[in-house]
Chains A and B, each alone.
Chain A
Amino acid sequence: MNIQQEKILNGGITLTIDDQEVTVPPGTTILSAAGALGTVIPTICYHDHLTAYGICRLCVVEVEQARVLQPACVAEAREGMTVHTRNTRVERSRRTILEMLDSAVNLEEAPEIQAQLDDYGANRERFENGERRSLPIIDDNPMFLRDYSQCVLCWRCVQVCADDAQYTYAINFSGRGFETSIDTFFEQSLPESTCVFCGQCVDVCPTGALKPKREWLLEQGQTPDEIMQMTRMERRRRKT
């Protein structure tokens, strides 16, 4: 049996990614197809174990014949497709996304995004007069803190809270446009929401916007002994 026959039998789809041919099962995304070739397409909102929604747009690639750039995490591979994962047009798009994020959001604790900023030669002054997301740290529960000035709205936390893991539905987008943020319904505190404090959202947060309180206290220079001696109220008071 030749390769062509095998592909047909297996229902394979052949496409070209950066001049390399690859055959993948139907339904495979461009991101996974590229992965099969060892080609890494950068992502922010995408997570291997969550449903991809193509929110951050960092993974866009150029598909010949397609009018606009395609988000690789959700766009499916098609027979005969020719994909460019990193040409000038793609780079310019990714750079702009990164520059805009960097202008508005505190990305200090997002090492992967920092590396992407460097990789794409982002000009960090490009939007230096832009408004920054500046929000107070929310400390409304004993387990973790929410600092939405570090939030890139990737939506992973909402996904794990909902049908991708917990079926708890405590948080979602609130607000519009620049004011968009992640919140509980009616701005309840987390303990008053349906939150069960599974901490899944903290686990998948890519930027440190969600952080275990113990970790945060260590960062503030508290020793483990001091942390364990504090009562809950003291831990709250130490908030800077």
Chain B
Amino acid sequence: MIEADRVVSTVCPYCGVGCGMDLHLKDDFIFKVTSDHNNIVNQGNLCVKGRYGYDMIYSKKRVTEPLIRKTPQRPGERTQAFDREEWRQVSWDEALDYTADRLVESYERDGSDAMAVYCCAKATNEDNYLLQKLFRALFRTNNVDHCTRLCHAASVIALQMAIGSAAMSNTAAEVITTDVFIVTGSNTAETHPIIGLQMKEAVEKYGAKLIVVDPRRVELANWATLWLPQMPGTDVVVFAAMAHVIVEEKLYNLEFIDQRTEGFEDFAKSMVKFTPEFAESVSGVDRNLIIEAARMYANAERAAIYWALGISESTHGVDNAFSLIHLALLTGHIGREGTGLNPLRGQNNVQGASDMGCMPWHYPGYMEVDDPASAEIWEKAWNVEPGGLNQEKGLTTTEILSNVGEGGVRALYIMGENPMMAEPNLNVTRHHMENLEFLAVHDLFINESGAYADVVLPGASWAEKDGTFTNTDRRVQRIRKALEPRGQSLPDIEIISELAKRIEDRIGRSGSAYWDYGDAEEVLIEMGEVVPAYRGIRYQRIDEVGLQTPVPDENHPGTPFLFEGTFPRGRGKFHLLEYVPSAETPDHEYPFILTTGRLLEHWHGGTMTRNSQLDELYPEALVEINRVDAARTGVKSGDVVRVSSRRGSIVLRAIVTEKANLGVVFISWHFHEAAANLLTLDELDPVAKIPEYKACAVSVELASEDELANPEARTRRGRW
């Protein structure tokens, strides 16, 4: 038996659930992870990532010294360098001076618009607040974004427009108090496993009825009363048809509609055309299922909707989200316990990074950058001269890259993100990365994006620093330093502050914004002085149990569910909807619809999990295909296939499974050997600028074993 030298309580760095976990250390080595059964978020439950995914911090591949590229890179000719031989190990002083010099060079020559930064939804609130402050206060740019753009941007916009706030309206664990809940566009059991457990518990032990609306037979469909398998991209039609039934059969809550919403009359008229028959012809979902689902949801005492990226990652993601919001506004299933609209946030701290203003249109606290009053507030807070802050909306994640080049973005700073895996249509992304004049990467590993960098700044993992994460249900929780940063890597607050001071000196803005923080809490307090939602948060108050924002003062107990009496925008607003087909639909040449997503065992671009023991559990990319489609294409489980779209092609093994619906294939986007995003479409939602990851046309054909990057990487797997 190994006795731990110490046990450190912290929060899981993977998904938005925000599970509490205890790291057991012996000689700075985490050998076991447990969780307190009394934890309010996860009741002692963890998934495989939380339990075993910590070991990437000890990986031999991790970068633990600052590195500068040996061969100077020129725009247009930038190459990827994965081999350590291509890098020179340097001191922190040299790395930071070099980074500051190069950033300032671009800034002084090409101005604010040439600068851009990707913040990081894996990093803490404190890290993110500081990084956006650096780019806003010093480089005067709003080209600040992070992966929320690729994730829930559409949900955020739709919720903002309809009710005025984008956060999940309820606590995740409240699902056990609901009578009927819809889960759509979310493989919750794999992507938010602990919320998935709570959903199963709601069904098994509390008699709740579950309606799954998903083109895949995801695990939760096995617990569902109804499964509506719509074709990818037809969500609006299915949910509008449900609204049609609710209106037609007068199942709505007229009192709620009168008192708390606006635009109902016009909306009701616009729903007339969305008959269940029309929906069936477009989406492939049996009309009777739609009618039954509408009645079940509308007639419930308490009903809630949970959704994830299947809804938002679409060229009509905003409309998809509206179609869900309408159901809640029609029936009044919002603002009470066990009801609500719940976009499940992906990253551990995507809610926090958004709250911290890591978005091109918003300062921290969602204050709009083009509102002079907001700008004035932050000018005071950051000691910037009046009128000094940029009041133009900045570029979004995808736009930052598509604007790379002369007259556009020249210098990019990436903290922890991996656009070379995450962006759609990677061949185009590659071209943009090659055209950067300067790229600084602040990460734990040299991933596919970091390999393009001029300089790599080794940050600290979540176990090596203090700070806070804000989880999917707005709970601000502490993470704690369990061990010293490995090698020479430094806590991210230190890296950003040191870099900021060097930049201040070079551009003659010395002593403007403040950069001398004694600890992480000071950063949060500085932000809270301006942002009311975080004003009442102190580390000591969240020492054991996190508080749910908004927490407007130091005595406020936090806010478990939102919108009880009113919506932030006053009345909830119905928006008129039209059905717009997906940007790309199957045809003779590309007969299947590809939809992408995540797996239980891996995380996003794989920077963490592919460098962890998790990779041993799931080492291979697979394309999931229905047995009928497989038979038609002559594919058996384990066969090597080439999946191609108009943009690229990848080679990987097939798995024939009932998880895949007829005509729809699924590929996870974790594997660089067969990067699903080489195939996806870089069309954007016109409002939210979120790309279409969930529907593009592909072909599937047999390929040979020797075309596979790593034929040995195979394991047996029995889970759903």
Bound complex: CA of A200 vs CA of B21, how far in Å? 12
- Size bracket, chain A contacts: 35 or more
- Find out whether the CB atom of A193 lies under 8 angstroms from the CB atom of B718: yes
- Find out whether the CB atom of B51 lies under 8 angstroms from the CB atom of A198: yes
Given contacts A197-B52, A203-B35, A224-B29, contact A167 B197 (CB under 8 A): yes
Q: Considering only CB atoms, which chain A residue lies closest to B48 in the complex?
A: A197
Q: Which of B39-47, B93-101, B506-514, B558-566 lines the interface with chain A?
A: B39-47
- Find out whether the CB atom of A192 lies under 8 angstroms from the CB atom of B613: no
Bound complex: CA of A202 vs CA of B31, how far in Å? 13
CB neighbours of A193 from chain B (8 A): 718-719
Q: How many residues of B contact A (CB 8 A)?
A: 42
Task: Say if the beta carbon of B588 comes within 8 Å of chain A.
Answer: no
Interface residues of A in 201-221 (CB under 8 A from B): 202-203, 208, 212-215, 218-219
CB neighbours of A168 from chain B (8 A): 719
Of A141, A189, A199, A212, which is within 8 A of B31 by CB? A212
Given contacts A143-B52, A167-B200, A197-B52, contact A218 B26 (CB under 8 A): yes
Q: Which of B53-61, B123-131, B255-263 lines the interface with chain A?
A: B53-61
Of B28, B32, B48, which is within 8 A of A196 by CB? B48
Task: Say how far B168's CB is from chain A's closest CB, in angstroms.
Answer: 23
Of A109, A143, A215, which is within 8 A of B617 by CB? A143
Write out, one digit per residue, whether chain B residues 14-48 have a CB within 8 A of any chain A CB (1) or not (0): 00000000000011111111110100000111111
Task: Say if the beta carbon of A163 comes within 8 Å of chain B.
Answer: yes
Given contacts A142-B616, A167-B204, contact A191 B715 (CB under 8 A): yes
Interface residues of A in 113-161 (CB under 8 A from B): 141-143
Task: Say if the beta carbon of A39 comes within 8 Å of chain B.
Answer: no
Bound complex: CA of A195 vs CA of B31, how far in Å? 21
Interface residues of A in 159-175 (CB under 8 A from B): 163, 165-168
Bound complex: CA of A165 vs CA of B47, how far in Å? 11
Bound complex: CA of A227 vs CA of B601, how far in Å? 21
Task: Say how far A108's CB is from chain B's closest CB, in angstroms.
Answer: 8
Task: Say how far A169's CB is from chain B's closest CB, in angstroms.
Answer: 11
Dominant secondary structure at the A interface = loop
Bound complex: CA of A229 vs CA of B718, how far in Å? 28
Residue from the set B31, B33, B205 with the largest chain A CB neighbour count within 10 Å: B31
Q: Considering only CB atoms, which chain A residue lies closest to B715 in the complex?
A: A191
Of A49, A194, A214, A215, which is within 8 A of B718 by CB? A194
- Find out whether the CB atom of A199 lies under 8 angstroms from the CB atom of B46: yes
Task: Say if the beta carbon of B109 comes within 8 Å of chain A.
Answer: no
Bound complex: CA of A212 vs CA of B1, how far in Å? 11
Write out, one digit per residue, whether chain B residues 690-720 have a CB within 8 A of any chain A CB (1) or not (0): 0000000000000000000000000111111
- Find out whether the CB atom of B31 lies under 8 angstroms from the CB atom of A215: yes
Bound complex: CA of A212 vs CA of B29, how far in Å? 13
CB neighbours of A188 from chain B (8 A): 718
Task: Say if the beta carbon of B343 comes within 8 Å of chain A.
Answer: no
- Find out whether the CB atom of A166 lies under 8 angstroms from the CB atom of B58: no
Bound complex: CA of A104 vs CA of B587, how far in Å? 67
Task: Say if the beta carbon of A7 comes within 8 Å of chain B.
Answer: no
Interface residues of B in 478-514 (CB under 8 A from A): none
Q: Considering only CB atoms, which chain A residue lies closest to B30 in the complex?
A: A214
CB neighbours of A48 from chain B (8 A): 37
Task: Say if the beta carbon of B662 comes within 8 Å of chain A.
Answer: no
Task: Say how far B621's CB is from chain A's closest CB, in angstroms.
Answer: 17
Task: Say if the beta carbon of B583 comes within 8 Å of chain A.
Answer: no
- Find out whether the CB atom of A165 lies under 8 angstroms from the CB atom of B59: no
Q: Considering only CB atoms, which chain B residue lies closest to A215 in the complex?
A: B31
The 5 closest A-B pairs by CB, nearest first: A199-B51, A224-B29, A142-B616, A197-B48, A49-B37
- Residues on B lying within 8 angstroms of A by beta carbon are 1-2, 26-35, 37, 43-48, 51-52, 55, 58-60, 193, 197, 200-201, 204-205, 600-601, 613, 616-617, 715-720
Q: List 13 A-B contacts (CB under 8 A).
A: A143-B52, A189-B716, A191-B718, A192-B716, A194-B719, A200-B46, A203-B35, A224-B58, A227-B29, A228-B58, A228-B60, A229-B60, A232-B616
- Residues on A lying within 8 angstroms of B by beta carbon are 48-49, 109, 111, 141-143, 163, 165-168, 188-189, 191-200, 202-203, 208, 212-215, 218-219, 224, 227-229, 232
